Each structure stands twice: as structure tokens, then as C-alpha cells.
Amino acid sequence: MKSTYLLYDQNPLELKVPDHWSILEPQDPPAIGDLQPAIQSALEKPISADSLLSIAQRADKNKSAVIVISDITRAIPNKNFLPEIVHVLQQAGFEDHKIVILIATGMHRPSTPQERIELLGPQLSEKYRVIDHHADDPKTLTDLPHRTTSGTSVRINSVYYNAGMKILTGFIEPHFMAGFSGGRKTICPGLVDLSTLQQFHGFKILNDPRSRIGNLEANPCHQEALEVARMARPDFIFNVTVNAHGRITGIFAGDLEKAHQSGVEFIRKNMTVRVERPFDVVFTSGGGYPLDTTFYQTGKGMVVAGQYVKPGGKVIIASGCKHGIGSKIFRDILFQYDHYKPFLANISKNDQTQLDQWGLQIQTRVLEKVGLEGLIAVCDNIDVNDLRRCHVTAAEDIVGAGNAQDQINRLVDLFAAGGQSVAVMPRGPYILPDVQTL
């Protein structure tokens, strides 16, 4: 037997598995040891761009300098690099009251005061103006001058649009439909209006086979986000890559597209896990805290595991879901249908994208491959009757009641007794699949 784990809320589940089971985990590059000089170097010598100081010195000081950050669902070590970015803006002549930190919530709820402290630390969160994007508030939005190639008319956060200096931060990782996160995604879906979000997460884009993890070529999701970001014209991006412990392994700052592409190549090199053939059974996770705080985000772990499983196989996903299922709208979508096929039939015929419908749509990618009986969920914080209505098989119905650790242990014992090929994905969606044959 050998030891492994599954990321689960803030306390990973421990697994003892047979030696012949495969552990699918990327080999992290080393964390940057001397971080502050590396951050300063990235700001002074960015990729295909002037230094941040030079750009900021040329900016209009009568307007604000906006630093865009991701919301609480993304495990980004903002506190490592935001003070240095703020310091550069101050050097360039921006007064403190002109520096704004804008949280790119996309369709997510606004941040709480405690979450802002977690995201920024007490000093930044108290000293500077911190605001959330509200995709559903027309008073806070401004029309962009052009439509995208797909015909989308875009409105964007007005504080961002009217700023004299626009900086995007974020991190780059494999993304289940946009290919990779980071870069342009801070703008779209992060700072756009509800209508644009619904188009971006609409049936047509998500149903396109090119909208998949690790692919940017002719990916309509990537293209839509990139077109919007180009129109939004950020001055500078600061993206990082992180390891399993949240420590920074790479910094990619500068030009919107070229800096992001450098980060993408870094991820391809370091996070790709290649296997010769898919498995009968895959154990995976929702990604741990903060990604797995709701079932709404858990589909990301499902769909990545679905890349590694055989048709008719089984995906076992453990997700903390400490905040439950997600929004009321998402819950209503899940509970409205007894089976996922009528849901797919309905949204494929409907030009209007319902808010949060993407969550179930990506889950159907896995359901189409393994069926309801093949998608097994381990979760402490959702009532089992509700969990059954989330288009999964509750682990309790297979191995009996118990906490997540107990149920995972019993599921390991169950599949260890069979002759199937089994893989464990400790970090869930934080991996780039490469499966050679079916």
C-alpha cells in the first residue's frame, strides 16, 4: 500500500491505496525562494512591455489607478505582490485615494469584510478603496464601443473603464473550457455585465468541443474573452503560477497576450500528466479550499477527471461544499430536472442563457460518459437527499453513511477488491490531462 491524499476543504483526506494504483499529480517546479526581488524584476523588466513604473508615470493622475484581483474562490497569494504594485503606483505619483482595488467577481456574490482581509491582508483592505464588481447593476457599467465577432454587445465595470491606469492580476492554471485561466479572463468573465456573462457561459460556446481544458486554438470561449479584453485595453498584467501549497512558482507580467502565453507554456511544461490509456475508476477532488466551497464549482474537478476515465467507468469526487450547493438559481436548475438529458434538450433550444446553467452543463460532459451511477460524490456539508438531486450518486448509497474520510476509505477498499484500473488525482482540477488512447 502507498499513501496519497485528496484536497478537501482545508483538511485533505488521507488515502492508503494499492501500490499498483496510479497517482496523477503534476510535478511542481520549485517555489521562487527569494520572492520580493523576483516580483520587482518582473515589474521592472516585464514581458513585451515597458516597466510598470514607466507606464504608470505616463498615466493620467487625475484619474484612478485600478488593480483588478480575483475573488475569494481563487487561491491567489495577492498579499505577496500587491504591496509592491501599490508601491510602484505611489512612486509614479498616484495618491493613495486614487488607488482602487477592484474585485472581479464575474457572476459570483460580493465579498464579505472578512474575505477582503483574507484576500488583501488588513493593511491593504483598510487603507485603500476596495470594491466588488456587480454584473447585474446597470448603474455601475459602461458600454464598450464594439461588439465581439460572435455579436456580443459588452458592458464593463465603469470604475475600471474610466481609470487612468488599469492593472490585471491573477493566476494561470488549466481551465475546463477556456483552455487556461488568467490573462483575458480577469476581464471576461471577471468585469463584464450579466448579458455578456450569459453569452460567455452559453450553451453554444460550452457545447463546442474546442472549448476544453488545455486548448486555446480556435477555442470560442478563449476567443470571446480575448476579444473583450482587447477592447478593455489593460495597461499591464501580473499573473502567477502556484504550487499545491499556494506558493508562487512563476511570474508572468507585462503584455496582456504575450505575458499570458509565457505562463501558458510554463503550465504546459509543468502540469501536464500523460497516461497511455484511460482508467476504469478515477478518484478526484473539487480542488480543496477555496475552490470547493460550493457544489457549483465542483463540476470543474468532475470534468477534468472525466478526461482520464473510460466510457462507462466511475468518477469519485470529494468536495467540501462548506457553503452548500451554490446560488438559489443554480440549486433550482439542479432540482428542476429528474435527469440531465431533458435539461440539455431544453437549453440547446433556448437562445436565452439562464444564470448559472453552465454549472450543470459541464457536469453533463461527465454524465454523458459514465452515467449517473458512475458519478459518485463524497460530501460532508450537503444533506444526502439534496446531494442525490444534484445529478450524482451519493457515496452513502454505495458504502453507507459516515463522514467524508470514512466514505473515501470504504470506496478505496471497494475498488481495491476489484480488478479495475484505478487512478487518484489528489489535486482535482489542478492538472493538465493528456490521455493517449481510448
What residue ranges do the domains of the chain occupy?
2-25+273-435, 35-242
Sorting pLDDT into bands at 50, 70 and 90, what band is 199? confident
Each residue's pLDDT tens digit, 9-23: 999 999 999 999 999
Least confident of 241-250, 295-304, 429-438: 429-438
Residue 438's pLDDT is 54
Sorting pLDDT into bands at 50, 70 and 90, what band is 376? very high
Least confident of 50-54, 196-200, 299-303: 196-200
Q: CATH topology for 2-25+273-435?
A: 2-enoyl-CoA Hydratase; Chain A, domain 1 (3.90.226)
Instruction: Evaluate whether 2-25+273-435 and 35-242 have a shared fold.
Output: no
Residue 305 has pLDDT above 80, yes or no: yes
Angstrom distance (rounded) from CA 112 to CA 350: 35
DSSP sequence for 313-344: EEEEEE---TT-S--HHHHHHHHH-SSHHHHH
User: For 151-202, where are the alpha helices, taking DSSP H only?
Assistant: 158-161, 194-200
Cell, residue 52: 510598470
Each residue's pLDDT tens digit, 150-183: 888 899 999 999 999 999 999 999 998 999 999 9
Angstrom distance (rounded) from CA 326 to CA 192: 21
Whether domain 35-242 has CATH 3.40.50.300: no
Q: What angle do CA 226, 100, 256 make, to 5 degrees?
A: 20
Angstrom distance (rounded) from CA 110 to CA 254: 28
Angstrom distance (rounded) from CA 223 to CA 243: 27
DSSP state of 240: E
Q: Do residues 117 and 125 make contact, with C-beta atoms less than 8 angstroms apart?
A: yes
Cell, residue 226: 480575448
Residue 56 has pLDDT above 70, yes or no: yes
* % of residues, the chain, pLDDT over 90: 85
Mean pLDDT of the chain: 94
Question: Angle, nearest 10°, between helix axes 295-305 and 357-370?
Answer: 30
Global confidence as pTM: 0.91
- Write phi, then psi, for 96 (nearest 5 degrees): -55, -35
Averaged pLDDT for residues 225-230: 95
Q: Do residues 237 and 254 make contact, with C-beta atoms less than 8 angstroms apart?
A: yes
Sorting pLDDT into bands at 50, 70 and 90, what band is 353? confident
Q: What is the largest CA-CA distance in the chain?
A: 69
